[in-house]
Amino acid sequence: MTYLIMVFKMEFNHYSVMLDECIVGLDIDPNGIYVDGTLGGAGHSSVIASKLSKKGRLIAIDKDTDAINTSSDRLKDYDNITFVHDDYKNMTNILDSLGIDKVDGILLDLGVSSYQLDNRERGFSYMGEAELDMRMNRDQSLTAKTVVNEYDESRLVKIFFEYGEEKFSRRIARNIVANRPLETTKDLANIIEKSIPAAVRFKGGNPCKRVFQAIRIEVNEELDGLYDALLNMARRLKPDGKMCVITFHSLEDRIVKNVNQYLFSSCICPPRQPICNCDKKREVEVITRKPMIATSEELEKNKRSQSAKLRIIKKI
C-alpha cells in the first residue's frame, strides 16, 4: 500500500520531542522493520531511516495528508519507506495488508503536532483566529464547529470534564450554548475566558487550553480504542522488539501505563483467589518504570516538550 504523493507547499515544522531518547529506546537493527505511527514532520522517521540498511524497512503512518505529503518529499532519498495515510490505531490491519507479521520497533508520538498548532487555518490553537476545525484527518466530516454548535449542553459538560479535566465545565458549556453559533477559535476562546472567574482565570496557564484539548480529543477520537490498539501493537513486536510511546496529557499516559502493566503481568486473577488459573503470561519487560521526561536542554529549545512523557516496553 504505497501512495503516490503530491508535494505540499507549506513548510511542515515539527520539533521531534525526546528524539535521542526514542532512538536509543528503539535500539535500531539496521535490517529490521520499524513503524512510525505518527509520522508528522518526519523528525523521528528521518533518523530511523538513516539507521536502516537497504534490507531494513520503515512503515510511516499518519492520518494528516499534509504530513504524508511533506514528509514523503523530505524522505524521498530513501527507497525503503512505505507511506500510509491512515490512523495508527489501524496498525495491525495495515501490517496485514503489507504482508508483515512482526516488526522490530514501533514509535508513537501522540497528540497534536507543532505544525497543526502553528498552522492557524487548522483551528487547533486558541492563539489568533481561525475557523473552528481541529481535524487531524481533513477527510472526516466531524469538526470542532460541529461539536461546539450542535452538541447539547450535557454532552459538552461531559467532554470538557472528562477530556479536559475542566472544573468549570458546566459554566463554559452553558455559555457556549447561550451564545451559539460560534464560528471561530476566537469566538470560543472569548466565551471560555468570560466563563472562568477572574481570580483564577490565568492560574496554571491559558484558560482555553483544557477546553481546546477536550474538543480536539473528541473530534479526533484520540482516546477511543487506544487501549486495545496499543495492546495489539505490542503483540506485533518480534522478541526483543521495542515500543516507544510519547504522551502529552494524563489521560493518554494513564492508558499507556495500564496497557504496559497488563502486558507485564503474569497473573490477572482476583487478588483473593488462592490459585491462579488465568493462564496469563508476561509478554513484555517494562524498560521505563517511571516515564522519561524531556531534559532541561530540550525544554529550552521547545517548551511544548514540557508535558511529554515517554514509556518504553520490550517484547519478551
In this predicted structure, what is the pLDDT of residue 10?
42
Asked if 182 and 148 count as a contact pair (C-beta separation under 8 A), the reply is yes
Question: What pLDDT score does 32 carry?
Answer: 98
Q: Looking up cell 501490517, which residue turns up?
A: 95
- Please list, in sequence order, all residues whose beta carbon lies within 8 angstroms of the beta carbon of residue 132, skipping any fewer than 6 positions away: 123, 143, 144, 145, 148, 182, 183, 184, 185, 187, 188
Sites in the chain below the pLDDT cut of 70: 1-14
CATH 1.10.150.170 positions along the chain are 126-220
Q: What is the pLDDT of residues 145-161, one digit of tens each?
A: 999 999 999 999 999 99
19-111+226-315: CATH topology: Rossmann fold (3.40.50)
Distance (Å) of CA 226 to CA 230, 253, 256: 6, 11, 8
Total-model pTM: 0.92
Q: What angle do CA 197, 200, 203 make, to 5 degrees?
A: 145
- pLDDT, one tens digit per residue, over 60-85 is 999 999 999 999 999 999 999 999 99
- The CATH architecture one would assign to domain 126-220 is Orthogonal Bundle (1.10)
Where are the CATH 3.40.50.150 domain residues in the chain? Answer: 19-111+226-315
How far is 188 from 177, CA to CA, in rounded Å?
Answer: 11
pLDDT given at position 14: 54
